[in-house]
Structure 1
Amino acid sequence: MDTVLKTFDFADGQQDLESVNVAELSPTSGFFFTSPYRSLSTEGCLVKISEPAADGDVMGGKFQQAIEAAFSDARAAGIKHPVLCGAIPFDKRQPSALFVPQKTRWLARDAAMSVATQAESSLPEILTKNELPGQDVFMQMVSDAVQAMNDGKLDKTVLSRLLEIKTCEPVARPVLLSRVVSQNPNGYHFHVPLEKGALIGASPELLLRKHGNKFHSNPLAGSTRRESHPKKDREVSRALLESGKDLYEHRIVTEGMGKVLKSRSRALDIPSSPELLSTATLWHLSTPINGEVQDAQENALSLACLLHPTPALCGTPTLVARDLIEQLEPFDRGLFGGIVGWCDDRGNGEWVVTIRCGTVSDDRVRLFAGAGIVPDSSPESEWRETGVKLNTMLRAFGLN
């Protein structure tokens, strides 16, 4: 295969130095991340960081101190410009799954996609599937959440469910990632190595990208299933743009993020109305947010932790919504509904929301999907919406 990959030195903006044969890279041997901004593939682990990110938005807090100590150790070990990568859980009070790799290769988007889709093989047969919770319980969860809103306790929450799969033999992670990327070419793709297995997914939602003093976010809230017929697909997309329920849900998210970002921004631009963003299976309401930080010491992860969890993945008010989620959901989300990405020692970085994803460990796979719940939510329609979202990963197994 031709040597088509080039790495980059972002210290001076010049192209590097090293060309790499596609066949020499394994996207599932370390952290792997694709983005229109910067894609990367890592090797090895120099320093692990499990410090919870509860105070991650505080520049002098324990979490940021742990990051700086890791960067300092990496520079002492000879890494000129270290990078931190990995995942942070939905609940920032839980341990993080972050590390500084021994080697980082920066890839162009098309090259990264080529690397990710090298594996060609089938996945093992699925022996069992278990829904957690089942439909009746999930629909009751939605009803309970709507009642809490009608009682004035909160404005929105997000409820999720898992699909637990057992296969007849261990799942080959390179094959699963290859199929996920191929079937969802426009998302942010990721592979995060864990102590047991890995987190794999194709998220459509950018939480925070920072380069220099500028930052960008693209929250999604409000969605509908796509249709195979072009005319009907256009009709459902237009209906989404006019849906009072979905526009209300989306406005809660953008207004909440705007309030949080305003105090840390020199400039902030949030459009007054959303636009459409599509994936292979869904239409989403989307609002691109752009801004400039007040403090040059701010980094991508401090801003990401300031926003996380957003009303799009938790609800509002945040703490009330989080407590209701803990009360209603019959499982611990862990990394699901968290954030995944990277941050370098100059403060640049990119973090996406950990959705359209699953964990893989030998012959066990857990898939995750959630839906935003507002006072007008219908339990049955929210069940269907989570089912459509689960299809992103189910399609990778050849199932619908």
Structure 2
Amino acid sequence: MAEGLEDLVLGLSNKWKIQEENKLAQAIWRLPHAETFTFIQSNNVGKEVSAFEVENLGEGFLTAPFQGAPIFISADEILVGNLPDISEVKFNAEVEVSQNGKDEFVKWVGKSIEEIQKNVFQKVVLSRVDVAELPNSFELFEAFFKLSKAYPDALVAAFYVPFQNSVWLCATPEILVVQNGEGIFKTVSLAGTQSALGDKGNKIAVQQASWTQKEIEEQAFVSRYIIECFKRIRLREYVEIGPKTVIAGNLMHLKSEFIVDTKALGVENLASTMLDLLHPTSAVCGTPKEEAIQWISQAEKHERAMYSGYLGPIGFQNEIQLFVHLRTVQIQGNQAIFYAGCGITEDSIPEKEWEETNLKCKTLKGVLMSS
């Protein structure tokens, strides 16, 4: 570790450990393309709130589980700093992903396809976990800065809420709800996955991406769901951009953006209204939502907890920056639990869905498990 980075990591680690010992909530994040990070510490354990309070909570960090109430970490102490200069981040493309549970996962993907063919639902997202022991050299803030360097297009964040007894670390590219100080609202439809690396480990240009009908339809489900939410609140004036291919770390996705000028339209509280309607999106759940959630509860033997929920800073400069909680690892002592999911449609191939979850696990694992 470089000397400057080592001093920064040590200082932040000491503050983090004291807060943990006092059982108080805290979070650190770096917004996409930002050159600074923000580290906040709360005077309490974190407060369960309603999505409808998002515009009025003040400055802090909001995170929500896949199912359940959002948790607000108030920014009672704020530290803003410049990202350290890291010249290169090693990505271990050969990192191993556990094959434990493969047969069970593939079986449930097959069952999901059968349910889709029976019109029980049109799409469902199943997830899995990959449990690994962290190397002795692992340090949370070093990992945070490495991920910030490796994934400039992502929200990189780590947070601790005492009653969860875990630290969560993620590098997520998927916007859920964003609104700036001028009232410009944005949400995103992001789905479909393929590797952004060629056979020799080189980055593939987005122009070379080739998408199957399955992947195109998977992303279209998410876009249609966003539009349905707009219709439910009688919002018809929005700008849609895409779909287009984007790169997030070592993966490619299909992405569409939906933008609304809330001030021009005189729309109030759009962020909280859409947050309540969208979450959990079909990108992490399925369509229709309730039928997909019921199926997920049968198929998955692990608790998603914060994975596939949402997280991000709110209230700073009157902005809301909430992202879907993907590309995530839950840290408990020296154990790391990596989460990954895949969208299943009628055209899915079970073995390929398993391979997609492997690719997603490697997004973080390939950085965190590198020397």
Give the corresponding residue for 1:210.
Answer: 179
CA distance, structure 2, for counterparts of residue 325 and residue 236 of structure 1: 35
Is 1:84 the counterpart of 2:53? The answer is no
Pick one of 309, 314, 326 that aligns with 1:343.
314
CA 1:227–1:236 in 2, change beyond 3 Å: closer, same or farther?
Answer: farther
| 2:109 matches 1:135 | no
Answer yes or no: is 1:44 the counterpart of 2:41.
yes
Q: TM-score scaled by structure 1?
A: 0.75
The alignment-based identity, stated in percent, is: 20
Deviation at 1:397, TM superposition (A): 3.2
Aligned positions, number: 342
- Distance apart, 1:278 and its partner CA: 0.5
CA contact (8 A) 2:97 2:362 kept: no
Among residues 353, 363, 368, which one is paired with 1:392 in the alignment? 363
- Determine if the alignment matches structure 1 residue 291 to structure 2 residue 260: yes
Kept after mapping to 2: 8 A contact 1:166/1:363: yes
Q: CA deviation at 1:289?
A: 1.4
Contact 1:162 1:369 in 2 (8 A): yes
Tell me the CA shift for residue 386 of structure 1.
0.5
Partner Cα separation in structure 2 for residue 24 and residue 264 of structure 1? 51
Cα deviation for residue 295 of structure 1 reads 5.7
Q: How far, CA to CA, are the matches of 1:175 and 1:233 in structure 2?
A: 28
Is contact 1:217-1:290 (8 Å) kept?
yes
Deviation at 1:98, TM superposition (A): 2.1
- Distance in 2 (CA, whole Å) between partners of 1:209 and 1:129 is 33
Change (3 A) 1:153 1:104: same
Instruction: Provide the C-alpha distance between the structure 1 equivalents of 2:206 and 2:156, rounded to a whole number of angstroms.
Output: 29
Match of 2:197 among 227, 247, 257: 227
Q: Which residue of 1 aligns with 2:78?
A: 104
| Contact 2:49/2:72 (<8 A) preserved | no
Please show how residues 162-201 of structure 1 align to structure 2 within 5 Å.
162-167=129-134, 169=136, 171-195=138-162, 196-201=165-170
CA contact (8 A) 2:115 2:121 kept: yes
Q: How far apart, CA to CA, are the structure 2 residues paired with 1:354 and 1:292?
A: 25
Moved more, 220-229 or 137-146: 220-229
State the 1:392 CA deviation.
1.2
- For the pair 1:150 / 2:124, whether they are aligned, the reply is no
Distance 1:391 1:265 in 2: 39
Distance 1:224 1:371 in 2: 11
- When residues 230 and 104 of structure 1 are mapped into structure 2, their CA distance, relative to the original with a 3 A threshold, is same
What's the Cα RMSD here?
3.4
Which residue of 2 is the match for residue 281 of structure 1? 250
Q: Deviations over 1:314-341 (max 9, x none)?
A: 1110111111111101111000011011
* Per-residue deviation, 1:157: 0.7
Does the C-alpha gap of structure 1 residues 147 and 215 become closer, same or farther in structure 2, counting only changes over 3 Å? same
Residues 163 and 236 of structure 1: is their aligned pair in 2 closer, same or farther, counting only changes over 3 Å? farther
Runs of 5+ in structure 2 lacking a partner?
A: 1-6, 17-25, 90-94
- Tell me the equivalent position of 1:5: none
Task: Give the letter aligned to residue 189 of structure 2.
Answer: P
Show the counterpart of 2:31.
35
> What amino acid is the match of 2:230?
L
CA offsets, 1:180-229, max 9 Å, x none?
Answer: 22332331111112322311011111111102322012221111112335
Match of 2:283 among 281, 298, 312: 312
Please list the CA deviations of residues 251-275 of structure 1 after superposition, one character each: whole Å capped at 9, or x if unmatched. 111011111034264631123x510
* 3-state SS, counterpart of residue 219 of structure 1: strand
Q: Which amino acid in 2 is paired with 1:83?
A: E
| Equivalent residues in 2 for 1:2-13, closer than 5 Å | none
1:367 aligns with 2:338: yes
- Distance in 2, Cα, partners of 1:162 & 1:24: 30
In structure 1, list runs of 5 or more residues that go unmatched: 1-20, 72-81, 121-125
Partner of residue 223, structure 2: 254
Task: Pick closer, same or farther for the CA change 1:298–1:375 going to 2, 3 Å.
Answer: same
